[in-house]
Amino acid sequence: RPHRTELYQDVPSTCWPIVYSPDYNITFMGLEKLHPFDAGKWGKVIDFLKEENLIVDDLIVQACEATEEDLMVVHTRRYLNKLKWSFVVATITEIPPVFFLPNFLVQRKVLKPLRTQTGGTIMAGKLAVDRGWAINVGGGFHHCSSDKGGGFCAYADITLAIKFLFERVQGVSKATIIDLDAHQGNGHERDFMDDNRVYIMDAYNRYIYPGDGFAKRAIKRKVELEWGTEDTEYLQKVQTHVEGALNELKPDIIVYNAGTDILDGDPLGGLAISPQGIVKRDEIVFKAARSRRVPILMVTSGGYQKRTARIIADSIINLHNLGLIDKELATSGAENPKVEQMLRKCTKDLTNLSLQ
């Protein structure tokens, strides 16, 4: 029987299925500046969305921190105990000075934000099924598996969100992961290696971290990209392979890992996608999900430039302007006639758009 969790709480229908907490942001004596990751980008995304009057604080779903019991749905006790050693966390987060900090500070200043983002992804999974879509403004720790972290990823939030749904939500028995971060998602690939309920599509720069040949065996649809891939080729491949993946298997949930480290100039991604290309990529994925009536959960994953927060916000605004994320669609199930009518109209509009 599943354990009792605070993460599957009832969310007021007035809230958008956008999950966030100020606790996502990592700030500690400037140490966060020693890593190329912008450790405050999640708060900046929310600030941009507020400036555009898309949301206000009362309409955001407040993320809760995942407890040890929540984490043990996937993680081994042995792995969680390893995180009590500062040098292990320093290795995973790639911030060497963390090695010298007492672990109680590491837990509070580094791991608690990551546990809160992990809780946010699990919460957003349930919201996506209930509302048709959900966005966790953080999460996407796709290099972490049940017993190993790495690449700034200490908790396997994607695996956890899917396993929570399989255990707790009736009618969710198949999932598709669409991983469009610049790096291979070896964590969830290792976790779902022999699980036929999970279909993984992964598009990544073939030459960069992690180069995990064993994990690649779990990818059902592998899109290996060359250095400096640009918009036209990239978007064509995303369109073809997202459609292909969803035609091969109609899942009960899509988990979309929407990393912005594909952006031109990213110090780690090695690709050359424009801000407009990223906005268009997210639009392609949400259109494919909406046209098939499949709930979609988006997490923001990697992105190592100061301008990525603005791009994520612009993409969310674009999805809203196109009616691909909509509060009316998100506040009831399909049994509501008004929602059903709107969904039919949205699907018809999308069909007409694709025919033009």
Burial of 197 (0-12, 13-18, 19+ CB in 10 A): middle
Query: Is the separation of the CB atoms in 178 and 256 below 8 Å?
Result: yes
Task: Please choose, from the candidates 89, 65, 91, the residue with its C-alpha nearest in 3D space to the C-alpha of residue 5.
Answer: 65
Q: Which tokens is 19 given?
A: 């999950």
Cα 218 to chain centroid, rounded: 19
- DSSP annotation of 182 reads S
**Which residue, 213, 77, 194, is CA-closest to 147?**
77
Using CA atoms, how far apart are residues 16 and 197, in angstroms rounded to an integer?
29
Q: Is the sign of the CA dihedral 92, 97, 103, 107 positive or negative?
A: negative
* Preceding omega of 2 cis (within 30 degrees of 0): no
329, 132 contact by CB (below 8 A)? yes
Asked if residues 255 and 177 have their Cβ atoms less than 8 Å apart, the reply is yes
Let me know if 188 is a catalytic residue.
Answer: no
User: Exposed (0-12), middle (13-18) or buried (19+): which is 100, by Cβ within 10 Å?
Assistant: exposed
Q: Which of 75, 143, 183, 188 is catalytic?
A: 143
Say how far apart CA 127 and CA 351 lie, in whole Å.
26
Whole-angstrom distance, CA of residue 356 vs CA of residue 346: 16
CA terminus-to-terminus distance, the chain: 51
Rounded to whole angstroms, how far apart are CA atoms 247 and 241? 10
Residues classed as catalytic: 143
